[in-house]
């Protein structure tokens, strides 16, 4: 019998032996399992679109196989068996929410996904977008995805030191959190996880970030993929239960 990965673990065995990762309880409670209607035949792979900007594309990773969508594909294959999931990386460096919305038809709906992992907010803060417009547009597009039977997981921004943060950075984080709560959308709270790990002293910035200090490194991308795989587990269980 295939057994899903242990939710909350991340990193290679060597890394885990050297550093015990403790997930803050408030972060665990925010990462509710994904449930919803399963679009498509039960025998078909679960189709997952990772939509976002550079954090989804994998800026800072050592290779394309080390970004979080690629690692998620690998983890799901290991947990549930190959052929049960197909992960599409639709991250574009520098994209704001408006850029992502403009390519939803091509990069999301055309792929007929069951799940969209949507990472957004950082570039909107950097480019001084209107936070209220951002919030309204994100909520509207999530409602549309839900209306098409697509489950959504929101992924917020990386934690940055106060001196690194662009204007309104926290406002955009709050907007993502509020939209997740209002639309009953599971949230993978990257910001708060990283904040607690750094503030607690469990990790240093260079342990979680690439050399540019803005993007994640291989270890953090592995963590994101592992957390996401745990959130997706109920969908896989339901999917497999439908198969003869």
Query: How high is the pLDDT of residue 44?
Result: 78
Query: How high is the pLDDT of residue 12?
Result: 33
* pTM exceeds 0.75, yes or no: yes
CATH 3.40.50.1110 for the 44-241 domain, yes or no: yes
Query: How high is the pLDDT of residue 67?
Result: 96
Query: How do residues 11-39 score in pLDDT, each as one tens digit?
Result: 332 332 233 344 444 444 445 555 554 44
Query: How do residues 192-234 score in pLDDT, each as one tens digit?
Result: 888 988 888 889 999 999 998 889 999 999 999 999 999 998 8
Please tell me which residue, 45 or 134, carries the higher pLDDT value: 134
131-147 helix and 169-182 helix, angle to the nearest 10 degrees: 30
Q: Mean per-residue pLDDT for 89-106?
A: 98
The Cα 115–Cα 129 span in angstroms is 27
Please tell me which residue, 16 or 152, carries the higher pLDDT value: 152
Instruction: Name the β-bridge partners of 49.
Output: 88, 116
Query: How high is the pLDDT of residue 43?
Result: 58
Q: Count of CB atoms within 10 A of residue 36's CB?
A: 16
Query: How do residues 117-141 score in pLDDT, each as one tens digit?
Result: 999 999 999 999 999 999 999 999 9
Number of alpha carbons in the 13 Å side-chain half-sphere of residue 69: 27
Sequence-distant (≥ 6) Cβ neighbours of residue 232 within 8 angstroms = 33, 34, 46, 48, 76, 115, 153
Where in the chain are the domains? 44-241
The Cα 148–Cα 18 span in angstroms is 44
Query: How high is the pLDDT of residue 197?
Result: 85
């Amino acid at each position: 019998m295939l057994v899903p990965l242990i939710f909350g673990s991340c990193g290679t065995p060597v890394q885990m032996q050297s550093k015990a990762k403790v997930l803050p309880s408030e972060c665990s409670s925010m990462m509710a399992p994904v449930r919803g209607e399963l679009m498509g035949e039960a025998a078909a792979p679960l189709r997952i679109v990772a939509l976002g900007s550079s954090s989804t594309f994998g800026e800072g990773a050592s290779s394309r196989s080390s970004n979080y969508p690629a690692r998620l594909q690998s983890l799901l294959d290991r947990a549930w068996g190959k052929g049960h999931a197909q992960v599409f990386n639709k991250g574009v460096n520098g994209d704001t929410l408006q850029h992502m919305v403009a390519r939803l038809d091509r990069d999301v709906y055309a792929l007929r996904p069951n799940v969209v992992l949507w990472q957004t907010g950082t570039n909107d803060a950097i480019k001084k977008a209107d936070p209220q417009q951002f919030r309204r547009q994100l909520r509207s597009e999530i409602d549309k995805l839900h209306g098409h039977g697509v489950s959504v997981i929101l992924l917020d921004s990386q934690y940055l030191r106060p001196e690194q943060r662009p204007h309104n950075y926290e406002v955009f984080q709050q907007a993502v959190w509020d939209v997740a709560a209002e639309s009953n959308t599971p949230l993978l709270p990257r910001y708060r996880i990283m904040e607690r790990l750094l503030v607690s002293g469990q990790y240093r910035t260079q342990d979680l970030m690439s050399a540019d200090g803005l993007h994640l490194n291989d270890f953090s991308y592995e963590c994101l993929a592992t957390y996401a795989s745990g959130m997706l587990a109920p969908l896989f269980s339901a999917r497999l239960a439908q198969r003869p």
